[in-house]
Chains A and B, each alone.
Chain A
Amino acid sequence: MPKIIVVTSGKGGVGKTTTSASFASGLALRGNKTVVIDFDVGLRNLDLIMGCERRVVYDIINVINNEVSLKQALIKDKHCDNLYVLPASQTRDKDALNLEAVGRILDELKESFDCIVCDSPAGIEHGAFSAMYYADEALIVTNPEVSSVRDSDRILGILAAKSKRAVEGLDPVKEHLLVTRYDPKRVAAGEMLSVDDIQEILRIPLIGVIPESESVLQASNSGTPAIHLEKSDVAEAYRDLVARFMGDEVPMRFTTAEKAGFLKRLFGGR
């Protein structure tokens, strides 16, 4: 059965698009035929992070308006064989992403893909609601700060009450907590919430912790999803996430601050 997975958070700038790109890439690397859809009409970020912005000719709204076929709008990813991107429009009307039209596109995609990843915009209206409405599973992207946790809580409430699965009385949307931009040092210093704090409030299963790292910015500047980076905590954390999503048992990593080595302790340093 094809799966629709929404990457959502309520709050902006927490790492949804970064996660959508790496998660979709990881699913494709593991052999799933995958498409990742950018629902952020007006901002259009996903294609930049995937490094396919120069190949965008048509977008999701062209498809909704029946101006082109889905096939014409899908862009093949340059890093993985099994991955396609359906870009958002830079300029057009947000209201075009109505539920009915999105439902039609998803139904058509289900015929040829195993995994459909929906990169949600911030907020709870329009695009964000369309992105989550049809979801079978949800990655709730949360940063270790109170406002982000609060917004994630709100999104979980909407998923539980207003998603298609909720409205039609089917099994509820499967919820996964993904903590991103996690900095164990700042957590230890009491400057940020810990994973336990977040779980204590949200009370959904944890699927991964992605550490804060400068390499994410480098990756997005070079149009390479972070999961492809060599020797990077972030890449490993995203690979762990995908493995857990596929059902593997992988212990949690990157949740505690590395103990400073003997020399570091002796001579200070950070």
Chain B
Amino acid sequence: MPREEPAFKIKNSNLPVLILHLKTPDLEQVKQQLETRLKQMPDFFAHTPIVLGLTDLADAESALDFVDLLAFMQTNRMHAAGIQGGSPAQQEAATKAGLGLIPTTPQRPAPIVETEQAPEPVPEIRPAPSPHYVGPAQPDLPGLEIEADAAPAIPPEQPAPVETRPTLVIDKPVRTGQRIYAEGANLVVLAIVNAGAELIADGDIHIYAPLRGRALAGARGNTAARIYVQSMEAELVAIAGYFQVFDEGIPDTVRGKFSQIFLEGEKVVINPISSKR
């Protein structure tokens, strides 16, 4: 018998995935607030796999109607991949509704409060409390919280696969509301990245213009990934899921300067690049 080519291959991976962290067992309230969110940002979830985070609901008595929630999500172009956490009863109901059970991510070391000014001349910026970053603040929507879990399920010491695809080159402005993802590749942007825009790459990100939005390199956990930016004005930068926001402004040492951003242990480091070298 001739040997058949394998029709599939099973690979371990850690893909970036959004976690919809439920804060209340009242799914009607959740749906209502999701609807509000979807009105503001119709494409926010479009076709992105979503994990329902139930860790806060493990003690909830009432049963969760996953079938109804899934139907709602489907009509809104949201794709639930599975649940994380929850009580045994909730997990059973979820699997019956066709959802997968996703193991909880290991906890990271205790948080260090961010935006403490780093010592000069090399500003070392502490990573945020956990490798999660919380989506845009929505003070009027207390019932749910959306996390983009860019954290590797396996600790980041495990090197991610080498980026193999050709570099993605963007030569037009990346504007508010736009998101560019260089899957399995490096990303080069030759035009401005405005506030409210988002760059994501599994490899490095180079921006030869001001970065005013967000940039997330090594999105699948490559801790060696770096970001190079001609003028550092970002809202957020992240390497392999460790992120830094700048709600108190960008440190003077790098603001508006040619900079590189990399990970040192669990610290996001932002250094100016001197042109005199």
Indicate if B69 sits at the interface (CB-CB under 8 A): no
Who on chain B is nearest to A162 by CB?
B43
Q: Which residues of A contact B173 (CB under 8 A)?
A: 156, 160, 202-203
Contact with A along B234-253 (1 / 0, CB 8 A): 00000000000000000000
A154-B177 contact given A125-B42, A160-B172, CB 8 Å threshold: yes
Q: Which residues of A contact B172 (CB under 8 A)?
A: 160
B176 at the interface (CB under 8 A from A): yes
Given contacts A150-B195, A203-B173, contact A157 B178 (CB under 8 A): yes
Q: Is the interface of B mostly helix, strand, loop or mixed?
A: loop
CA gap between A14 and B145 in the complex, in Å:
33
Query: Could you say which of B178, B194, B196 contacts A161, with CB atoms under 8 Å apart?
Result: B178
A133 CB to closest chain B CB (Å) equals 15
Give how many A-B residue pairs fall within 8 Å (CB-CB): 33
- Interface pair A157/B192, CB less than 8 Å apart: no
Q: What are the residues of chain B within 8 A of A157 when measuring CB–CB?
A: 174-178, 197
Return chain B residues, CB-CB under 8 Å to A243: none
- The answer, yes or no, to whether A68 is at the interface (CB within 8 Å) is no
B191 in the interface, Cβ–Cβ < 8 Å?
Answer: yes
Shortest distance in angstroms between B208's beta carbon and chain A's nearest beta carbon? Answer: 14
Q: Which B residues touch A250, using CB under 8 A? A: none
Size of B's binding interface in residues, CB under 8 A:
14
Task: Tell me the smallest distance from the CB of B195 to a CB of chain A, in Å.
Answer: 7
Q: How far is the CA of A7 from the CA of B177 in the complex (A)?
A: 20
Interface positions of B from 37 to 68, Cβ below 8 Å from A = 42
What's the least CB distance linking A123 to chain B, in Å?
A: 10
Q: Is the CB of B178 within 8 A of A203?
A: no
Q: Is the CB of B42 within 8 A of A201?
A: no
- Is there contact, CB below 8 Å, between B42 and A156? no
Are the C-beta atoms of B176 and A203 separated by less than 8 Å?
no
Given A160-B172, A203-B173, A203-B191: A150 and B178 within 8 A (CB)?
Answer: no
A158 touches B (CB below 8 Å): yes
Q: Which of A116-144 contact B (CB under 8 A)?
A: 125
Q: Which residues of B (148-195) have their CB < 8 Å from a CB of A?
A: 172-178, 191-192, 194-195
Residues of B within 8 A of A156 (CB): 173, 175
How far apart sit A150 and B194, CA to CA, in the bound complex (Å)?
9
Whether A153 is near chain B, meaning CB under 8 Å from some CB there, is yes
Residues on A with C-beta less than 8 A from B197 are: 157
Residues on B with C-beta less than 8 A from A158 are 177
B175 to chain A, nearest CB (A): 3
CB-based contact A154/B175 at 8 Å: yes
Q: Point out the residues of chain B lying under 8 angstroms from A202, CB to CB.
A: 173
Contact in complex: A203, B192 (CB < 8 Å): yes
Residue of A nearest to B173 (CB): A203
Q: Are A150 and B42 closer than 8 Å at their CB atoms?
A: no
**B175 x A160 contact (CB < 8 A):** yes
Q: In whole Å, how far is A88's beta carbon from the nearest beta carbon of chain B?
A: 22
Which residues of A lie under 8 Å from residue B194 when comparing CB positions?
153, 201
**Minimum C-beta distance from B172 to chain A (A):** 6
In the complex, chain B residues whose CB is within 8 Å of the CB of A125: 42
Interface centre among B172, B175, B177 (most CB of A within 10 A): B175
Q: Name the B residues within 8 Å of A151 (CB-CB).
A: 176
Bound together, the chains give a CA A202 to CA B174 distance in angstroms of 10
Q: Using CB atoms, name the residue of chain A closest to B177.
A: A154
- Nearest CB of chain A from residue B210's CB, rounded to whole Å: 9
CB-defined contacts of B191 to chain A, threshold 8 Å:
203
A201 to B209, CA, bound (A): 11
- B175: chain A residues at CB < 8 Å are 153-154, 156-157, 160
B192 and A150 contact, CB distance less than 8 A = no
Query: Of residues A125, A157, A158, A160, which shows the largest number of chain B Cβ atoms within 10 Å of its Cβ?
Result: A157
**How long is the Cα–Cα vector from A158 to B41 in the complex, in angstroms?**
13
A160 to B, closest residue via Cβ: B172
Footprint of B on A, CB under 8 Å?
Answer: 125, 150-151, 153-154, 156-158, 160-161, 201-203
Interface contacts beyond A150-B176, A153-B195: sample of 17 additional A-B pairs, CB < 8 Å, sorted by A: A150-B195, A150-B196, A151-B176, A153-B175, A153-B196, A156-B175, A157-B174, A157-B175, A157-B176, A157-B178, A157-B197, A158-B177, A201-B194, A202-B173, A203-B173, A203-B191, A203-B192
Give the A-binding residues of B (Cβ under 8 A). 42, 172-178, 191-192, 194-197
User: What would be 30 A-B contacts, judged by CB atoms less than 8 Å apart?
Assistant: A125-B42, A150-B195, A150-B196, A151-B176, A153-B175, A153-B176, A153-B194, A153-B195, A154-B175, A154-B176, A154-B177, A154-B196, A156-B173, A156-B175, A157-B174, A157-B175, A157-B176, A157-B177, A157-B178, A157-B197, A158-B177, A160-B172, A160-B173, A161-B178, A201-B192, A201-B194, A202-B173, A203-B173, A203-B191, A203-B192
Ranked 8 nearest A-B pairs via Cβ: A157-B175, A154-B176, A153-B176, A157-B178, A153-B175, A154-B177, A153-B194, A156-B175
